[in-house]
Structure 1
Amino acid sequence: MTHTYQLTGMTCSSCEEKVKNALELVDSINHVSVSKENNTATITMSKHIALHNLQNALDSKYQISVIAHNESIEQTTSWFETYKPIVLIFFYISLVTVLIQLTNHHFNFMQAMQHFMAGFFLVFSFFKMLNLKGFAESYMMYDVVARKIPAWGYVYAFIELGLGISYLLNFSPVFTNAVTFIVMSISIIGVLQSVLNKKKIQCACLGAVFNLPMSTVTIIEDGLMILMSLIMLISLS
């Protein structure tokens, strides 16, 4: 995305160069063009950058402000563009789950969770399988087990596939949900550590196909599977 900002305080060509160099050091900024005559800075960025972050990168004599774009709208749009693959996947899995329940005489909450989890694990394992090596390498960057045992990344993808098939076939529900609860609980540890430490690394939830940043979205994914498996285990006991 490219935006043009109003930039005041520049008095010479050296100011232009100083501002340009300062802004180019900000993460996710790909290109900067500065004009002293027009008092503008045109910035190309790979993801949304808040205005205050741009201001903090500059000397106090320079003031940057928006011209014709809404920060809050852009931030929402940028979030959706970043996580569009996950949003669409959850939408389609939820849609299929609801449509299946419409064929029943009444809504079966437990069966709906079972079908949702089947779709979740099958779809997510599919994207991991597209580039298994790439997934394993990305997963090793933050998972507590994969960091010590690199082969775990490869095994994990097949565990997800197995869980997806098990939920689809309703195979040994207690065993399937117990494995899900244990595996996802271990997985979320590395995710929480990365998010809390604000590490800027790629989330491997969809393998190496999409460049998704590690964030609270990843916590919600894992947390949802943990919660669902726990509810089903309690209902089966």
Structure 2
Amino acid sequence: MSAPETELGTRSDTSRAVAFSDAIFAIIITLLVLDLRVPDVPPGRLLSGLLSQWPAYVAYLASYSYVAVVWLNHKAAFNRIQQTDRGLHWMNLLVLFTTALLPFPTIVVSHALQEHDNADQRVAIAFYALIGAWLCATWLAFYHYLARHPDLLKEQVKHEFFRVERIRALAGVLLYALAGVLGYLVTPLVGLAIFLLLPAFYAVTSAGLYQFRVTRRISHRPPPPSG
């Protein structure tokens, strides 16, 4: 069997992978909001009931932001991919699998913080950090696969782009692990603060760390002399 015939059953364009992924992201976002409920309080206590649910709002914000930057990173990655093969499909499914887990630790953290049990709060923060680190690890595998298969990328994409992206993913693994350790050993609020800050970093660099560095170099370049 010739090489083109061999690749016919394993390679395709990215349209189906992107459409399937976007559908999964939409479902995950929807599931996150299900933990926001009308408080069960007597008449006249609605305001205090809503305010007492602040952990649910913070957990929702952290996870919504995380899913949002995952989608932005996913979009940026697939904008640079020309074709997908069986291995890349599995890498993508692995990213989606761990992203789909986020609603569960979100609910765990929300409920633990509202119950005011310090031991449970520490466990909940560590559990969320574990899922967050795992998700970053799947991105590390995704980027590593693309770095090893530059033939799947569009011609204008620099081969080192996804090699550099592995640094962002590895940083996420380490920082979520740090959040889990500090949240468990020191105070849950430290871990929660890191959970809120990490999506901001990934949002700023959503086009890619390599592209971010290139853009910064261009912006700091002195203008050409006039005349």
TM-score normalised to structure 1 length:
0.31
Bigger share in helix:
2
Bigger share in strand:
1
**Higher relative contact order (CA closer than 8 Å, sequence separation 6+):** 2
Instruction: Determine which structure has more spread, i.e. the larger CA radius of gyration.
Output: 1
